[in-house]
Amino acid sequence: MTEQARRLPRPVERGRLGGFALLVAVGVGQALGAVGVALLVQRAFDGLVAAWATPEARDDPAGAAVTWMLGALGAAVLVAALCRAAERALAERVGQHYVQQVRDRLFEHLTRVPARALGRRSSGAMLQRFAGDLSALRTWVSLGLARLLVSGVAVALVLGALALLAPRIAVAVALALGIGGLATWAVGIGLARAARRARRRRARLSGEVAERLANVAVVQASGQERRERRRIDRKGAAVAAAMVRQARASGAARGVAEATAGAATIGVLVGGALDVRLDGASPGAVVGALAVVGMLAQHVRDLGRVAEHAAGAAVAREAAQRFLDLPPLPDRAGAPPLPDGPGELVLRGLGVEPGLRDVSVRLPAGATAAVVGGNGAGKSTLASAVARLVDPDAGAVELDGADLRSVDLRSVRRAIGVVGPDLPLLRGSVDRNVRYRLPRASDEAVAAVAERCGVAALVEGLDDGWASDVGEGGRLLSAGQRTRVALARALLGEPRLLVLDEAEAHLDGPTRALLHRAVAEREGTTVVITHDPETIAAADVVWRLEGGRLVDARPPSEAADRPAAA
């Protein structure tokens, strides 16, 4: 992944420039409508006053000129209303385009980051990023940045027009807007802090709830329902308090906007009164200016909410960028595919922090290695490195003479099948799970691997056969059934290397025998992490790990005098 791909997209980029240009046009349209309203209100008001001032005109209070101006005034108001309606649709389109680009980049990065690195992060924080943070970014673009652009253009143009028509009124309105802008900026600092605190607490609560949902059986079996409810209540109360503080800061920003709009109205009254008194301006000019300020008030309120949206987006961008800063598995563009070969595996000084150090060993093509050792010996870390689910910090993993880091990652995935406790089934049908590695595999290939792994017999007993839903993580299947499907998924396409990380754990006798038979019948190379004596006895070589180091590598018959660590 390039450095550019690890940066969060900017809202204003190619692909959205046209949308922002249309929003500028909408702002110009709203400004023209507001200026037109001001001029027409002035003319209509002065015309009506003049008409009603003469006895002859009182018989025809709505003369032709005044009628025309009132019609034009209605047209100007309609233009402003249509521009306002178009603004919302255009802004949402730009916001959705942006958030889709951000979502794609985050998910692409998610698929590249080693699972070990993701496992250290809270699932609640991950959910927050793909839900709350994306929503905050969309809101910023569609309701914040877009309104800042439209309202900024409209306010600037209207103030410019007012400066030409009524300089004192323009100065008064500009002064009110300037003071309001400074106050909004000051409030926005506290608003950003409140938004950051609220996001952290929401993420913690989401993580707690997600973990308890995934492990509700543990809670029930331990009799800890009441304790967990109290814990969630405390987390929820903390979230509520943080959200109230955020709402208080948001309310302050909106209050500033309302005060700014009111101050602008007062400025028009004061400046208009001075114009009438000192320069003999018509009352219609003051009425027209008041009409413009009334229309500007909505823009001022929108600008007041921009601070709220900007604070939420700033926090969301920081969190998203921290996620993108996680180093992915390197996959150099243009890297050659893994060369064809029988599956010879060589580890050269392999080291993966913190659990594996200086492992050097060779496994001939077609052989099976049983990896044994105590808890924390580095067995699962070795399996992850061999399958290139994590890259080594030292040394190399070579398959058929090629360092796995130097070749195309997709070709590595096709060449290596993996079964392990950290690779559950996905929600969906049995057929979808078996085909997951190779969605375009032929029906014949699927049928063959299903027969070898016992999946064919499994689906015969399911109500919907191959279309049966396995549930989240395969929960609708038994442990043995899940292992059969996972093994079939790994073996589809005949990978030259198969990595089994304690796949036979918790299996009944028939399912364990089926697993042994499926592995024995294949021609490829196999690395098995195991504690099972039968699996160890059937291997060609036993690799014993202790403290992250390979301390022994010999055939099972020679290793029999040293019992497998449990």
Nearest to 418 by CA among 305, 542, 501: 501
What span, in angstroms and rounded, lies between the C-alpha atoms of 36 and 76?
Answer: 6
Average pLDDT for 197-202: 81
What span, in angstroms and rounded, lies between the C-alpha atoms of 22 and 419?
Answer: 53
pLDDT digits (tens, 9 = 90+) for 460-514: 999 999 999 999 888 899 888 999 999 999 999 999 999 999 888 777 788 888 8
Helices 225-274 & 167-214 angle (0-180, nearest 10): 170
pLDDT for residue 128: 54
Q: What is the CA radius of gyration of the chain?
A: 35
pTM of the complete model: 0.73
In the numeric block, the tokens 């109230």 are attached to 244
What span, in angstroms and rounded, lies between the C-alpha atoms of 468 and 530?
Answer: 31
Maximum distance among all alpha carbons in the chain? 125
For all residues of the chain together, what is the average pLDDT? 82
What is the identity of the amino acid at 182? L
Tokens for 300, please give them.
């001022």
Strand 345-352 to 394-399 pairing: antiparallel
pLDDT for residue 281: 62
What SS3 string covers 251-280?
Answer: HHHHHHHHHHHHHHHHHHHHHHHHHHHHHC
pLDDT for residue 5: 59
Residue 298 pLDDT > 90:
no
Average pLDDT for 57-85: 67
What span, in angstroms and rounded, lies between the C-alpha atoms of 456 and 489?
Answer: 13
pLDDT for residue 314: 84
- Residue 214 binned pLDDT confidence (cut-offs 50, 70, 90): low
Residue 372 pLDDT > 60:
yes
553 or 125: which leads in pLDDT: 553
pLDDT for residue 262: 78
Residue 422 pLDDT > 90:
no
Of 86-95, 279-288, 440-449, which range is least confident? Answer: 279-288
- Residue 50 binned pLDDT confidence (cut-offs 50, 70, 90): low
Query: Count of alpha carbons within 13 Å of 531, Cβ hemisphere only?
Result: 11
64 or 15: which leads in pLDDT: 15
Q: Which residues, other chains included, contact 57 with Cβ-Cβ below 8 Å and sequence gap of 6+? A: 50, 51, 63
Using a pLDDT cut of 90, give the percent of the chain over it: 31
Residue 566 pLDDT > 70:
no
Average pLDDT for 74-91: 80
pLDDT digits (tens, 9 = 90+) for 505-548: 777 788 888 888 888 888 899 999 998 888 898 899 999 999 99
- Highest-confidence range of 61-75, 116-130, 193-207, 540-554, by mean pLDDT? 540-554
Output the CA–CA distances (angstroms, integers) from residue 405 to 163, 336, 346, 385, 443, in the order listed.
Answer: 66, 11, 14, 11, 33
Q: Which residues, other chains included, contact 405 with Cβ-Cβ below 8 Å and sequence gap of 6+? A: 330, 388, 391, 396
Residue 563 pLDDT > 50:
no
Of 150-154, 396-400, 424-428, which range is least confident? Answer: 150-154
534 or 564: which leads in pLDDT: 534
Average pLDDT for 286-294: 70
